[in-house]
Amino acid sequence: MIKFVILVTLISLINCKPKWTQLQNYTFEQYVRDFQKEYKADSEEYMTRKKIFEQNLADIISFNKEDHSYKKGVKNSTDESYFEKKESFSIFKNQVDFQIMDPPIKNSNQVYKAKGLTNLPDSVDWREKGVVSPVKDQGDCLSCWAFTAASVLESHAAINSGAGNLKILSVQQLVSCVPNPDQCGGQGGCFGAVADLAFEYTTKFGITSEYKYGYKSYFNDTYDCKFDPQKQSPEVINKGFAKINPNDQQALLEAVATIGPIAISIDSTGWDSYEEGVFDGCDYSENINIDHAVVLVGYGTDPKYGDYWLVRNSYGTEFGEDGYIRIKRESVPQCGVDSTPTNGFACGGDETPIKVCGMCGILSDSSYPLNTKIIV
């Protein structure tokens, strides 16, 4: 028993990455060890990364000394420049001379519109009901859409059949097998797509379990589809999907409170350094670049920083609050413009700017599967 305790202690020391409260004297040398960076000492790359890291660290420490609703920490990307993290960035000016469209609603069986429910609970967290699987890590593959769809399908299947029937479903099947001929949200697989395509696909083919078709696209290889329903029998199927009325906060609130976790699209700008608290770091005066799919699992109120949305990410448990981020839920949602819609939910060739509302555009594009059930 003593040996086991010592081993656990040593492992925890080796893997101990600093919290935001421990950064004042943190060095690049410690960072390289903690995050297992493979830079040759004193090389040009090493010195460049060190300079970027030290500037980013100074910015993080300075930010945390100010009165913000969330805290920043060092992450795997703290030695990357802003332009590496965000290769394209466009500014939305208050005065625009182009048409701005509402978010498109395509191919859904139905649209959920607010019913004016007044008896909603003050807080909702579907994790507490045993219908949310552990947080996963998409790695270098732009497969957030597949992780989001699989997670939502898992939850809705468990809700409909009982919390004890929580299946862990195959993200790889979606990454490798879901077609994206119209290039919605990207070119498909590890080059991006949207959760709705996965919901459509699983109405025809269903989705098998993770243990039958494990995730191997971590290092950004989509791989050919190897799904064989005879050998990898599907375990969950659905009958289409519903869209949430775009930019309608009451509709999204009602849906996540009464139906279950919801697939949402969002601007993840600034998330790379998020550690804890209620995130309010998206700027409405800039382009709201919807570029990431995540899962809305609830909402609540922080006693100090107010109302928030509870969002599950797919960057592993080291991200944010054990893999989750709380995003500011405004009493009166503000709106901005996504002038680069094909980065998120628009299809190829559709460059018309889209109106997006809520912090980081959280209200703009949401959906959930219909009649999801376990078949094995």
Q: Is 292 a catalytic residue?
A: yes
Q: Which of 56, 313, 343, 357 is catalytic?
A: 313
The pLDDT value recorded for residue 103 is 66
Alpha carbon distance 297, 101 (integer Å): 28
In the chain, the percentage of residues whose pLDDT exceeds 90 is: 79
Residue 130 carries which side chain, given as an amino acid letter? Answer: G
* Structural domains in the chain, sorted by start: 2-85 (1.10.287.2250), 110-374 (3.90.70.10)
- Residue 182: alpha-carbon gap to chain centroid: 22
Look at residue 126 and tell me whether its pLDDT is greater than 90. yes
Burial 353-362 (b: 16+ CB within 10 A, else e): bbbbbbbbbb
Nearest to 367 by CA among 208, 227, 184: 184
Q: What is the mean pLDDT of residues 230-245?
A: 96
Per residue in 335-366, pLDDT (tens digit) is 999 998 887 878 887 888 999 999 999 999 99
Q: Quick one: pLDDT band at residue 236, thresholds 50, 70, 90?
A: very high
**What pLDDT does 153 receive?**
98
User: What would the pLDDT profile of 281-310 be if each residue is shown by its tens digit?
Assistant: 999 988 999 999 999 999 999 999 999 999
Check pLDDT > 60 for residue 13. Answer: no
Residue 165 has what pLDDT?
92
Q: Which of 150, 116, 117 is nearest to 132 (CA)?
A: 150
Q: Please state whether beta strands 306-312 and 236-237 pair in parallel, antiparallel, or not at all (unpaired).
A: unpaired
Question: What confidence tier does 41 reach under pLDDT thresholds 50, 70, 90?
Answer: confident
Quick count: other Cβ atoms within 10 Å of Cβ 233? Answer: 13
Compute φ and ψ for 60, nearest 5 degrees.
-65, -45
Q: What is the rounded average pLDDT for all residues in the chain?
A: 89
What is d(CA 262, CA 101) in angstroms, rounded to the nearest whole number? Answer: 23
Q: Residue 4: pLDDT above 50? A: no
Asked if pLDDT for residue 87 goes beyond 60, the answer is no
Cα→Cα distances 105→110, 111, 294, 331, Å: 10, 8, 18, 25
- The more confidently predicted of residues 87 and 112 is 112
Catalytic residue among 184, 247, 282, 292: 292
- Among 144, 184, 190, 357, the active-site one is 144
Residue 175: partners with Cβ closer than 8 Å, 6 or more residues away: 141, 143, 146, 189, 190, 215, 217, 222, 223
pLDDT at 7 over 50: no
Q: Residue 107 catalytic?
A: no
Instruction: Output the pLDDT for position 108.
Output: 64
User: Picking from 92-96, 169-173, 334-338, which range would have the lowest pLDDT averaged per residue?
Assistant: 92-96
Asked if residue 3 has pLDDT above 50, the reply is: no
What pLDDT was estimated at residue 95? 33
- pTM for this predicted structure: 0.90
> Known catalytic residue: 144?
yes
- Answer yes or no: are the C-beta atoms of 236 and 153 closer than 8 Å: yes
